A = this chain, B = another copy of it.
Amino acid sequence: MPLNTIDDAELLTVRVAELYYDEEKTQDEIGALLGITRWKVGRLLTQARERGIVRIEIVHPRARRLGVERELKERFGLKDAVVVPESDDMLSRVAQAAADYLTSLRPVPRVLGISWGRTLDSVADNLPNGWASGITVVQINGGVSLNRRPGTASTTAAEVAHKGGGQALLLPSPAILERRETARAISSDRTVATVLERAANASAYLYSAGVADSSSILVDSGYLSPADVQELVRKGAVGDVVGRYIDANGNPVDPGLDERTVGLGLDQLRSAHTAIFVVAGEPKHDIARAVVTSSLCSVIVTDEVTAAALLEEI
């Protein structure tokens, strides 16, 4: 007794799909061959695609997932979304995609505000020379000098500016200060205030986010101790955006800390016309969710795993 789990119509569908896609026969020919009308052949092919018997895949390092992008845009009211397929090195794929996006962004931004970190670094690396002409790149959060690896924060901005045939405007301030008063003072100092003002008026922003754990670049750079981060997590922090720790709802998790942080405010990001959020990797799913649900970005660039996590019904 053959358990004919697979029904006859399905087998026919498979044969039709083979003849059409593998053998490149016309629907007419296939109809003649199998003794069915060409319309039936056409319908079977539609079914085959719908039911996943025929799988059409675009295999390329720079391929994107337009279907998922559409879903993201609809679900979170984004202006745009870029989703790249899974791969071994998703950070660089996503960074590449972000660089592509930036390059083809119209109108070309005159002033671009950027944050810094490993992700932004990678984006800078992937930008082609001449991606813009006469761009002004403004750092939107502090970060000079304290880093162990020299100049991470500033070189990112410099590279982006250099490749865009323009100049970088660095924020000459630590990311986080020890006392609120110092933060206020430095923010109103002319050298810093000027940059913050340019940052506030940037035509577009490009930034990433950090995870709330000791692997954060803010810990690495010495601004926070692992214990500080643990405390923030206890208070509900899921990660940081431009140096500011937020909870799942996108609100600063520690107002005191927030006041000690120098850089663009979250609300300025929220009201920006173009705020491109670049995020890749499993550990950043929570912070990514916080960012998109609280409208911190208008454009997201990410990998399909993160996108899927964001789209999961809760």
Contacts of A11 in B (CB 8 A): 62, 100
Does A233 reach chain B (CB closer than 8 Å)? no
Q: List 8 A-B contacts (CB under 8 A).
A: A1-B129, A2-B127, A18-B66, A22-B66, A53-B58, A53-B59, A54-B56, A54-B58
**How far, in Å, is A129 (CB) from chain B's closest CB?**
7
Does A6 reach chain B (CB closer than 8 Å)? yes
Cβ of B23 and Cβ of A66 under 8 Å apart?
yes
**How far, in Å, is A63 (CB) from chain B's closest CB?**
6
Chain A contact residues (Cβ within 8 angstroms of B): what range? Answer: 35 or more
Interface string of A44-63 (1 = CB under 8 A from B): 00001000111111111111
**How far, in Å, is A92 (CB) from chain B's closest CB?**
11
Contacts of A59 in B (CB 8 A): 52-55
CA distance A56 to B54 in the complex (A): 7
Q: A2-B99, A14-B63 are in contact. Are A22 and B128 (CB under 8 A)?
A: no
CA distance A54 to B1 in the complex (A): 40
Does A80 reach chain B (CB closer than 8 Å)? no
Contacts of A64 in B (CB 8 A): 18
Does A17 reach chain B (CB closer than 8 Å)? yes
Cβ of B127 and Cβ of A67 under 8 Å apart?
no
Contacts of A48 in B (CB 8 A): 58
Q: A2-B128, A125-B2, A127-B2 are in contact. Are A62 and B21 (CB under 8 A)?
A: no
Contacts of A55 in B (CB 8 A): 56-59
Enumerate the 8 nearest inter-chain pairs by beta-carbon distance, A residue then B residue, closest first.
A22-B66, A14-B60, A55-B57, A21-B56, A2-B128, A17-B58, A53-B60, A56-B56
**How far, in Å, is A151 (CB) from chain B's closest CB?**
18
Nearest-CB residue, chain B, relative to A16: B58
Nearest-CB residue, chain B, relative to A65: B22
Does A266 reach chain B (CB closer than 8 Å)? no
Q: Which residues 6-34 of A have a CB within 8 angstroms of B?
A: 6, 10-11, 14, 17-19, 21-23
Contacts of A6 in B (CB 8 A): 61-62
